[in-house]
Amino acid sequence: MRKDLLPIVILTPIIIIGFFILYFQQLHTDVLYFLYWTERVVDGARLYVDIKDINTPITFYFNYPIILVAKFLGLSVELTFKVFVVNLLFGIIFLCKKILSYSALSSKNMIYILLVLLLVFTLSGWDFGQREYLFSLLATPFVMVRIIYVVQKNFKLPIWPSLLSGLLAACGVGFKPYFVLPLLVLEIYIFLVKRNIRTFFRKECLSLVFSIIFQIAVILWFLPGYLENFLIGLQNYPYYVTQGHLFLRFETLLLIVSVVIFFYEYKKGISGQTSRILFLLILASWVAGIIQTKGFPQHYLPLRFVSLFYFSSAIYRSLGSRIRNDTTITKDFLTSLLLSLMLLTFWIQETKALNPPLSVSSTEYKLLVSLTKEKAENQKIALISTSFYPVVLFVHDANVGWATRNTNFWLVPGFYKNVDSREKPFPYHNLPK
Amino acid sequence: MSKYEYEFFDSTIKDLVVSTPELIFIQTGYYKAGFGLSTFDYYEYLSQDIRFVDLLKQYDLLRKMYELDILIKK
């Protein structure tokens, strides 16, 4: 068999399995939350007026066409979302292929890169469709354009892929302001390498900046309520306590291994610009996860994506040198380590996708749905809780409606702990002994 | 109570009183998402408003499950 076909033969079945899992897996609670709030927007509720939320407008409006299509075709919202995001993924892969076709890479290398992208975004586990997922996906063409710009002299790209990559990255940043950090680090690095201010005035960069400014203008003009919601969230959300660790977590292992690989390659003099940029993106994504201070797994998703891509490129280079009989025991050991770590990451992600922590197939969920259906079908219920059970799905499954506009009390911990001691609206509570 | 907290608090009570839901799920237990380990009590918090106290008189405790009090309209 031709050796250049090996990546296709190995990766294609894994990607197909990934799509099967994706079809059956439950969407993340946050994704469901945004989908069903958007459904209310489609039905006439005013975002940031009737629906109080800290999240950016694009988080909801991204789902708008999905809800419309689901309603029009009579499909479930979850399935329509999955199909929509998978189509977006293929659109991004197509755009990346177009961008790569202007690079000096061989077709063999291009196929490998595209397959790895497909693999990483398909086997993303429970975080499929999360804001971090969408940011990483939408920013990929931009990052690709910028890497080729650094690596390849006289790199010229037609106007439409350049502008589109900037526009898509700006949409990605729109999901969470934190996402600007990795892109900022990337641009600073490129400036330091090129030592030319004109590096910022390339089409993709201008498109990125103007698209971000346009989003801000749209928010200020059409959705002024967002600012107030954002400020309320900003004052109270820091007090929201989670059980997630910032440092003692699996992603730290990915970070440490990335550091080891980077310094190994650097010492051996085989660390190219692509490796350096990917390594910087890993560090910046890690910092972007840390500064959110909550330790939610999805906050580290961009780090996982870039690490996996970094590892796969290191494995590919190592296998290449093996074919040329230019290998050492250390190199083989590191390659095996990276391969094992990649497999472990996919395994953890997919296991979680099939057994999510807030599963609708759990006994707890089923009991609550059956009880609610029995006692209150077609009537209204109220939930006074901060628990982020998939309540939005619960209401659908139990066929009930909301009695209160505030369906989740996530702001209350902030109100409670951020209390002005002079006012004391209610007494402080001590921890139980 | 800050302006925003009062808006949140008042709108919740108002909605409950106006629509008198068939079931009310109230989170209990010492561990609550967002609070961590805390004795914060939703009954105590919302009962600062007499309208909530009156509303509760229209409900019976249906069941306690999964650190939730499930109240049903009488």
Tell me the pLDDT tens digit for each residue of A372-419: 999 999 999 999 998 756 677 788 889 998 888 877 788 888 888 765
Query: Do B30 and B39 form a contact (C-beta atoms < 8 A)?
Result: yes
- Residues A329 and A382 both lie in one domain: no
Mapped onto helix, strand or coil, the DSSP state of residue A215 is helix
Contact residues on chain A for B35, CB-CB shorter than 8 A = 241, 386, 413, 416
Position A432 scores a pLDDT of: 44
Q: Return the CA Rg of chain A.
A: 23
Cβ proximity of A150 and A317 under 8 Å: no
Report which secondary-structure segment, H or E, holds A274: helix A273-290
On whether both A165 and A74 belong to a single domain, the answer is yes
Rounded to whole angstroms, the Cα distance separating B32 from B42 reads 11
- Per-residue pLDDT of A264-303, as tens digits, reads 989 988 888 999 999 999 999 999 999 999 999 999 999 9
**How many degrees, rounded to 5, is the angle at CA A15 between CA A11 and CA A18?**
145
User: Which chain B residues are closer than 8 Å to A240 by Cβ?
Assistant: 34
The terminus-to-terminus CA distance of chain B in angstroms comes to 32
Considering its fold, how many domains does chain A have in total? 2
Instruction: Extract the runs of DSSP E, i.e. beta strands, from A259-391.
Output: 380-384
Mean residue pLDDT of chain A comes to 90
Query: Is the Cβ–Cβ distance between A265 and A316 less than 8 Å?
Result: no
How sure is the predictor about A131, in pLDDT bands with cuts at 50, 70 and 90?
very high
Please tell me the distance in Å from A425's CA to the nearest CA on chain B: 5
Considering just the CA atoms, what is the radius of gyration of chain B in Å?
A: 13
Pick the last residue of a domain from A327, A354, A381.
A354
Highest mean pLDDT: which range of A424-428, B2-6, B11-15: B11-15
Complex-level ipTM: 0.95
| Residues of chain A neighbouring B30 (CB-CB closer than 8 A) | 432
| Chain B residues in contact with A431 (beta carbon < 8 A) | 37-39
Task: Name every chain A residue with its beta carbon within 8 A of the beta carbon of B5.
Answer: 411, 415, 425
Residue type, A309: F
To the nearest whole percent, how much of chain A has pLDDT over 70?
94
Minimum Cα–Cα distance from B12: chain A residue: A404
CA angle A145/A147/A153 to nearest 5° reads 90
Which of A354, A382, A406 is the C-terminal boundary of a domain?
Answer: A354
Distance CA A396, CA A36 (A): 9
Residue A365 banded pLDDT, cuts 50, 70, 90: confident
Three-state secondary structure call for residue A162? helix
- Per-residue pLDDT band for A85 (boundaries 50, 70, 90) equals very high
A274: nearest Cα among A135, A143, A108, A101: A143
Q: Are residues A390 and A348 in the same domain?
A: no
pLDDT at residue A160 above 80?
yes
Which one of B21, B27, B39 has the shortest CB-CB distance to A381? B21
Q: Do B36 and A241 touch (CB under 8 A)?
A: yes
Q: What percent of chain A has pLDDT over 90?
A: 66
Regarding whether A380 and A235 lie in a shared domain, the answer is: no
Given a cut of 60, whether residue A244 has pLDDT beyond it is: yes
Give A-chain residues touching B40 at CB under 8 angstroms.
Answer: 412-413, 416, 429
Query: Rounded distance, CA A257 to CA A242, Å?
Result: 27
Is the pLDDT score of A326 beyond 50?
yes
Stretch A296-322: mean pLDDT = 92
Q: Are residues A185 and A234 in the same domain?
A: yes
Do A188 and A150 share a structural domain?
yes
Task: Give the alpha-carbon dihedral of A26, A30, A34, A35, to 10 degrees.
Answer: 0
> The tokens of A333 are what?
């050991």
Residue A42 phi, psi (nearest 5): -60, -35
Average pLDDT over residues A142-169: 95
A154 and A297, same domain (yes or no): yes
Q: Do A381 and B40 touch (CB under 8 A)?
A: no
Q: In angstroms, rounded to a whole number, what is the distance separating the alpha carbons of residues A397 and A365? A: 10
Do A12 and A106 lie in one domain? The reply is: yes
Interface size A-B, in CB pairs within 8 Å, comes to 127
Clarify whether residues A114 and A263 are in a common domain.
Answer: yes
Question: Which two three-digit tokens encode residue B4?
Answer: 């925003």
* A381: nearest CB among B25, B33, B45: B25
pLDDT (mean) for A29-52? 88
Nearest CB among B4, B25, B36 relative to A383 is that of B25
Token pair belonging to A255: 């970070």
Residue-range definition of the domain harbouring residue A180: 3-354
Contact assignment for A415 to B2 by CB distance below 8 Å = yes
The CA distances from residue A90 to A118, A122, A138, in Å, are 8, 10, 11
Measured between alpha carbons, how far is A381 from A117 in angstroms, rounded to an integer? 44
